[in-house]
Protein backbone atom coordinates (compact mmCIF):
# COMPACT_ATOMS: atom_id res chain seq x y z
CA UNK A 1 0.00 0.00 0.00
CA UNK A 2 1.18 3.53 -0.78
CA UNK A 3 2.18 5.83 2.07
CA UNK A 4 0.93 8.77 0.01
CA UNK A 5 -2.58 9.43 1.19
CA UNK A 6 -5.06 12.18 0.57
CA UNK A 7 -7.46 13.53 3.20
CA UNK A 8 -11.04 14.02 2.02
CA UNK A 9 -14.51 14.80 3.32
CA UNK A 10 -17.73 13.34 1.93
CA UNK A 11 -20.70 15.76 2.07
CA UNK A 12 -24.11 16.23 0.54
CA UNK A 13 -26.70 18.93 0.01
CA UNK A 14 -30.23 17.55 -0.46
CA UNK A 15 -28.70 14.29 -1.68
CA UNK A 16 -26.37 15.93 -4.22
CA UNK A 17 -23.10 14.43 -2.93
CA UNK A 18 -19.54 15.69 -3.03
CA UNK A 19 -15.96 14.82 -2.21
CA UNK A 20 -14.24 17.88 -0.72
CA UNK A 21 -10.46 18.38 -0.81
CA UNK A 22 -8.37 20.95 1.05
CA UNK A 23 -6.25 22.69 -1.58
CA UNK A 24 -5.42 25.43 0.93
CA UNK A 25 -3.42 23.25 3.32
CA UNK A 26 -2.62 20.19 1.18
CA UNK A 27 -0.58 19.73 -2.00
CA UNK A 28 -2.85 18.06 -4.55
CA UNK A 29 -2.05 16.03 -7.67
CA UNK A 30 -3.56 16.65 -11.12
CA UNK A 31 -7.27 17.04 -10.49
CA UNK A 32 -8.91 15.91 -13.75
CA UNK A 33 -7.83 12.25 -13.43
CA UNK A 34 -8.19 12.42 -9.64
CA UNK A 35 -11.82 13.49 -10.00
CA UNK A 36 -12.55 10.54 -12.26
CA UNK A 37 -11.03 8.16 -9.72
CA UNK A 38 -12.44 9.61 -6.51
CA UNK A 39 -15.98 10.13 -7.84
CA UNK A 40 -16.31 6.59 -9.20
CA UNK A 41 -19.03 4.91 -7.11
CA UNK A 42 -17.54 1.42 -7.51
CA UNK A 43 -13.77 1.96 -7.35
CA UNK A 44 -13.53 5.28 -5.52
CA UNK A 45 -15.31 7.25 -2.82
CA UNK A 46 -18.28 8.11 -5.01
CA UNK A 47 -19.89 11.47 -5.61
CA UNK A 48 -21.60 13.77 -8.07
CA UNK A 49 -18.78 16.32 -8.02
CA UNK A 50 -15.35 17.04 -6.56
CA UNK A 51 -15.04 20.34 -4.67
CA UNK A 52 -11.57 21.79 -4.10
CA UNK A 53 -10.91 24.63 -1.66
CA UNK A 54 -8.34 27.14 -2.90
CA UNK A 55 -7.07 30.56 -1.82
CA UNK A 56 -8.51 33.47 -3.81
CA UNK A 57 -7.14 36.87 -4.80
CA UNK A 58 -10.64 38.28 -5.36
CA UNK A 59 -12.76 36.66 -2.62
CA UNK A 60 -12.40 34.90 0.74
CA UNK A 61 -11.96 31.50 -0.92
CA UNK A 62 -12.15 29.83 -4.31
CA UNK A 63 -14.17 26.68 -5.05
CA UNK A 64 -13.04 24.57 -8.02
CA UNK A 65 -15.58 22.02 -9.23
CA UNK A 66 -14.91 18.84 -11.21
CA UNK A 67 -17.44 16.41 -12.68
CA UNK A 68 -17.05 12.60 -12.68
CA UNK A 69 -15.79 12.73 -16.28
CA UNK A 70 -13.01 15.14 -15.25
CA UNK A 71 -14.62 18.20 -16.82
CA UNK A 72 -14.99 21.48 -14.93
CA UNK A 73 -18.29 23.00 -13.77
CA UNK A 74 -18.81 26.72 -13.36
CA UNK A 75 -21.02 26.60 -10.30
CA UNK A 76 -22.84 24.18 -7.99
CA UNK A 77 -25.39 25.63 -5.60
CA UNK A 78 -25.78 22.51 -3.46
CA UNK A 79 -22.01 22.26 -3.46
CA UNK A 80 -21.41 25.78 -2.25
CA UNK A 81 -23.67 25.18 0.77
CA UNK A 82 -21.58 22.11 1.63
CA UNK A 83 -18.42 24.11 0.94
CA UNK A 84 -19.49 26.85 3.38
CA UNK A 85 -20.22 24.29 6.12
CA UNK A 86 -16.90 22.52 5.45
CA UNK A 87 -14.86 25.74 5.63
CA UNK A 88 -16.36 26.60 9.02
CA UNK A 89 -15.98 23.07 10.42
CA UNK A 90 -12.33 22.91 9.35
CA UNK A 91 -11.45 26.25 10.91
CA UNK A 92 -10.80 28.11 7.66
CA UNK A 93 -13.36 30.75 8.67
CA UNK A 94 -15.76 31.65 11.47
CA UNK A 95 -17.73 34.13 9.37
CA UNK A 96 -21.46 33.56 8.92
CA UNK A 97 -21.24 35.00 5.39
CA UNK A 98 -18.33 34.63 2.99
CA UNK A 99 -17.48 35.44 -0.62
CA UNK A 100 -16.49 32.47 -2.79
CA UNK A 101 -14.83 32.76 -6.18
CA UNK A 102 -16.18 30.34 -8.81
CA UNK A 103 -15.92 30.12 -12.58
CA UNK A 104 -19.38 31.74 -12.59
CA UNK A 105 -18.20 34.72 -10.49
CA UNK A 106 -18.38 35.60 -6.80
CA UNK A 107 -21.09 33.75 -4.85
CA UNK A 108 -22.04 34.57 -1.24
CA UNK A 109 -23.29 31.79 1.05
CA UNK A 110 -24.37 32.59 4.63
CA UNK A 111 -25.54 30.57 7.61
CA UNK A 112 -29.32 30.31 7.93
CA UNK A 113 -29.63 28.16 11.05
CA UNK A 114 -28.40 24.71 12.09
CA UNK A 115 -27.48 22.76 8.97
CA UNK A 116 -28.98 25.40 6.66
CA UNK A 117 -27.25 27.80 4.29
CA UNK A 118 -28.68 30.64 2.19
CA UNK A 119 -26.86 31.48 -1.02
CA UNK A 120 -27.10 34.74 -2.95
CA UNK A 121 -26.97 33.26 -6.45
CA UNK A 122 -26.89 36.61 -8.22
CA UNK A 123 -29.20 37.65 -11.02
CA UNK A 124 -30.19 35.03 -13.58
CA UNK A 125 -28.74 35.28 -17.08
CA UNK A 126 -31.53 35.41 -19.65
CA UNK A 127 -29.81 36.61 -22.84
CA UNK A 128 -29.42 33.63 -25.22
CA UNK A 129 -25.81 34.32 -26.21
CA UNK A 130 -24.76 34.52 -22.56
CA UNK A 131 -26.52 31.33 -21.38
CA UNK A 132 -25.30 30.19 -24.02
CA UNK A 133 -27.96 28.80 -26.33
CA UNK A 134 -28.88 29.12 -29.99
CA UNK A 135 -32.54 29.12 -28.97
CA UNK A 136 -33.92 32.66 -29.18
CA UNK A 137 -30.88 33.80 -31.15
CA UNK A 138 -31.06 37.46 -32.16
CA UNK A 139 -33.21 38.41 -29.17
CA UNK A 140 -32.41 39.72 -25.69
CA UNK A 141 -34.36 36.89 -24.07
CA UNK A 142 -35.81 35.45 -22.00
CA UNK A 143 -35.96 32.09 -23.75
CA UNK A 144 -39.36 30.71 -22.74
CA UNK A 145 -41.27 27.83 -24.30
CA UNK A 146 -38.90 27.70 -27.26
CA UNK A 147 -39.14 24.87 -29.75
CA UNK A 148 -36.47 22.18 -29.48
CA UNK A 149 -36.50 19.33 -31.99
CA UNK A 150 -34.77 16.16 -30.92
CA UNK A 151 -34.95 12.71 -32.51
CA UNK A 152 -38.35 13.28 -34.07
CA UNK A 153 -39.83 14.88 -30.96
CA UNK A 154 -40.73 18.53 -30.51
CA UNK A 155 -40.27 19.88 -27.00
CA UNK A 156 -41.12 23.28 -25.55
CA UNK A 157 -38.27 24.36 -23.33
CA UNK A 158 -36.97 27.39 -21.46
CA UNK A 159 -33.30 28.28 -20.97
CA UNK A 160 -31.69 30.13 -18.05
CA UNK A 161 -28.14 30.43 -16.77
CA UNK A 162 -27.44 30.58 -13.05
CA UNK A 163 -23.71 30.67 -13.70
CA UNK A 164 -24.11 27.44 -15.66
CA UNK A 165 -26.62 26.71 -18.42
CA UNK A 166 -29.99 25.04 -17.79
CA UNK A 167 -32.74 23.76 -20.06
CA UNK A 168 -36.13 23.53 -18.31
CA UNK A 169 -38.87 21.20 -19.56
CA UNK A 170 -42.38 21.15 -18.01
CA UNK A 171 -43.84 17.64 -17.64
CA UNK A 172 -47.14 16.26 -16.39
CA UNK A 173 -45.54 13.59 -14.19
CA UNK A 174 -41.93 14.09 -13.11
CA UNK A 175 -41.66 10.50 -11.87
CA UNK A 176 -42.37 9.25 -15.39
CA UNK A 177 -40.21 11.88 -17.14
CA UNK A 178 -37.74 10.46 -19.72
CA UNK A 179 -34.69 11.71 -17.83
CA UNK A 180 -32.34 8.88 -18.83
CA UNK A 181 -33.47 8.91 -22.46
CA UNK A 182 -33.65 12.64 -23.22
CA UNK A 183 -31.22 14.00 -20.64
CA UNK A 184 -27.96 13.00 -22.38
CA UNK A 185 -29.31 13.93 -25.81
CA UNK A 186 -30.39 17.40 -24.74
CA UNK A 187 -27.13 17.87 -22.79
CA UNK A 188 -25.19 17.63 -26.07
CA UNK A 189 -27.79 19.16 -28.41
CA UNK A 190 -26.34 21.68 -30.90
CA UNK A 191 -28.66 24.32 -29.42
CA UNK A 192 -26.36 24.38 -26.37
CA UNK A 193 -22.74 24.98 -27.44
CA UNK A 194 -21.31 24.47 -23.93
CA UNK A 195 -23.62 21.52 -23.22
CA UNK A 196 -26.44 22.02 -20.72
CA UNK A 197 -28.04 20.76 -17.50
CA UNK A 198 -31.56 19.50 -18.10
CA UNK A 199 -34.42 20.02 -15.62
CA UNK A 200 -37.74 18.19 -15.84
CA UNK A 201 -40.31 20.04 -13.71
CA UNK A 202 -43.86 19.31 -12.60
CA UNK A 203 -45.88 22.25 -11.27
CA UNK A 204 -47.90 21.14 -8.25
CA UNK A 205 -49.21 24.48 -6.91
CA UNK A 206 -48.24 28.13 -7.33
CA UNK A 207 -45.73 27.72 -4.51
CA UNK A 208 -44.47 24.17 -5.05
CA UNK A 209 -42.85 22.30 -7.93
CA UNK A 210 -41.14 18.93 -8.28
CA UNK A 211 -37.90 18.55 -10.22
CA UNK A 212 -35.53 15.95 -11.61
CA UNK A 213 -32.20 16.89 -13.13
CA UNK A 214 -29.80 15.43 -15.66
CA UNK A 215 -26.50 17.17 -14.83
CA UNK A 216 -23.95 17.93 -17.52
CA UNK A 217 -20.97 15.59 -17.18
CA UNK A 218 -22.58 13.64 -14.33
CA UNK A 219 -25.97 12.14 -15.19
CA UNK A 220 -29.11 12.21 -13.05
CA UNK A 221 -28.49 13.49 -9.52
CA UNK A 222 -30.71 13.61 -6.45
CA UNK A 223 -30.58 17.41 -6.41
CA UNK A 224 -29.30 20.39 -8.39
CA UNK A 225 -29.39 23.74 -6.59
CA UNK A 226 -28.57 25.98 -9.55
CA UNK A 227 -31.11 23.96 -11.52
CA UNK A 228 -33.74 24.62 -8.85
CA UNK A 229 -32.98 28.33 -9.16
CA UNK A 230 -33.27 28.15 -12.95
CA UNK A 231 -36.57 26.28 -12.65
CA UNK A 232 -37.89 28.94 -10.26
CA UNK A 233 -36.85 31.78 -12.58
CA UNK A 234 -38.45 30.16 -15.63
CA UNK A 235 -41.61 29.31 -13.68
CA UNK A 236 -41.93 32.87 -12.39
CA UNK A 237 -41.34 34.38 -15.83
CA UNK A 238 -43.94 32.03 -17.33
CA UNK A 239 -46.45 33.14 -14.67
CA UNK A 240 -46.76 29.61 -13.31
CA UNK A 241 -45.66 30.31 -9.71
CA UNK A 242 -45.26 32.97 -7.07
CA UNK A 243 -41.87 34.60 -6.50
CA UNK A 244 -41.08 32.36 -3.52
CA UNK A 245 -41.51 28.63 -3.95
CA UNK A 246 -40.38 25.25 -2.70
CA UNK A 247 -38.57 23.07 -5.20
CA UNK A 248 -38.87 19.40 -4.26
CA UNK A 249 -35.92 17.34 -5.45
CA UNK A 250 -35.37 13.63 -5.05
CA UNK A 251 -32.94 14.31 -2.20
CA UNK A 252 -34.76 17.11 -0.38
CA UNK A 253 -36.46 20.48 -0.71
CA UNK A 254 -34.97 23.90 -1.46
CA UNK A 255 -36.65 27.24 -0.85
CA UNK A 256 -36.06 29.61 -3.78
CA UNK A 257 -36.95 33.32 -3.79
CA UNK A 258 -36.60 35.81 -6.64
CA UNK A 259 -38.08 39.02 -5.19
CA UNK A 260 -37.94 41.08 -8.40
CA UNK A 261 -36.53 40.84 -11.91
CA UNK A 262 -33.65 43.16 -11.00
CA UNK A 263 -32.87 41.21 -7.79
CA UNK A 264 -30.66 38.24 -6.95
CA UNK A 265 -32.06 34.75 -6.64
CA UNK A 266 -31.84 33.45 -3.06
CA UNK A 267 -31.61 29.74 -2.33
CA UNK A 268 -31.92 28.18 1.14
CA UNK A 269 -31.27 24.53 1.82
CA UNK A 270 -29.42 21.93 3.89
CA UNK A 271 -25.80 20.81 3.96
CA UNK A 272 -24.45 17.77 5.78
CA UNK A 273 -21.09 16.13 6.40
CA UNK A 274 -21.32 12.38 5.86
CA UNK A 275 -17.82 11.18 6.78
CA UNK A 276 -14.14 12.03 6.50
CA UNK A 277 -11.19 9.80 5.70
CA UNK A 278 -7.96 9.26 3.80
CA UNK A 279 -7.44 7.47 0.50
CA UNK A 280 -4.20 6.19 -1.10
CA UNK A 281 -3.10 8.29 -4.05
CA UNK A 282 -1.57 5.48 -6.09
CA UNK A 283 -3.98 3.70 -8.42
CA UNK A 284 -2.62 0.29 -7.48
CA UNK A 285 -2.93 0.92 -3.73
Using CA atoms, how far apart are residues 177 and 179, in angstroms rounded to an integer? Answer: 6
Which secondary structure element, helix H or strand E, spans residue 239, and what is its range? Answer: none
Class of domain 5-120+271-280: alpha beta
pLDDT at residue 151 is higher than 70: yes
Provide the percentage of residues in the chain whose pLDDT is more than 70: 98
Domain boundaries along the sequence of the chain = 5-120+271-280, 128-263
pTM: 0.87
Using CA atoms, how far apart are residues 121 and 265, in angstroms rounded to an integer? Answer: 5
Using CA atoms, how far apart are residues 142 and 144, in angstroms rounded to an integer? Answer: 6
Is residue 59 classed exposed, middle or buried when 0-12, 13-18 and 19+ CB atoms within 10 A define those classes?
middle
Under the banding of pLDDT at 50, 70 and 90, the label for residue 283 is low
Residues with catalytic function? 76, 224
**3-class DSSP assignment, residue 216:** coil
pLDDT at residue 136 is higher than 90: yes
Contact indicator for 158, 168 with CB cutoff of 8 Å: yes
Contact indicator for 101, 56 with CB cutoff of 8 Å: yes
pLDDT at position 3 is: 63
Provide the percentage of residues in the chain whose pLDDT is more than 90: 96
Phi, psi values for residue 142, rounded to 5° = -75, 160
Is residue 205 classed exposed, middle or buried when 0-12, 13-18 and 19+ CB atoms within 10 A define those classes?
exposed
First to last CA, the chain: 5
Is residue 195 classed exposed, middle or buried when 0-12, 13-18 and 19+ CB atoms within 10 A define those classes?
middle
The DSSP secondary-structure symbol of 148 reads E
Check the CA dihedral 42-43-44-48 and report its sign: negative
Question: Can you point out the beta strands (E) in the chain?
Answer: 5-13, 16-22, 49-54, 61-66, 72-73, 100-102, 105-111, 116-120, 143-150, 153-161, 165-170, 197-205, 208-215, 219-221, 244-249, 252-257, 266-270, 272-280
pLDDT tens-digit readout, 193-243: 999 999 999 999 999 999 999 999 999 999 999 999 999 999 999 999 999
Q: What is the CATH number of domain 128-263?
A: 3.10.310.10
pLDDT tens-digit readout, 28-81: 999 999 999 999 999 999 999 999 999 999 999 999 999 999 999 999 999 999
Is there a common fold for 5-120+271-280 and 128-263?
yes
pLDDT tens-digit readout, 231-278: 999 999 999 999 999 999 999 999 999 999 999 999 999 999 999 999
Is residue 25 classed exposed, middle or buried when 0-12, 13-18 and 19+ CB atoms within 10 A define those classes?
exposed
pLDDT at residue 179 is higher than 80: yes
Count of residues making up the chain: 285
pLDDT tens-digit readout, 3-17: 689 999 999 999 999
For residue 51, how many C-alpha atoms fall within 13 Å in the half-sphere facing its CB? 32
pLDDT at residue 1 is higher than 70: no
Amino acid sequence: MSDRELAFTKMHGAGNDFVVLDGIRDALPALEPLAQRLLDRHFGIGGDQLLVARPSATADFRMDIYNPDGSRAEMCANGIRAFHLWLRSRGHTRADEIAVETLAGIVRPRSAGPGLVTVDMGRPVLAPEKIPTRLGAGTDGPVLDARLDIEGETLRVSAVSMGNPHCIIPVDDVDAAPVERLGPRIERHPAFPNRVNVEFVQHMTRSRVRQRTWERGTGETLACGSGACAVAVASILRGATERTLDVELRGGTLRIAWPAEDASVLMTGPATEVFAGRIPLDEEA
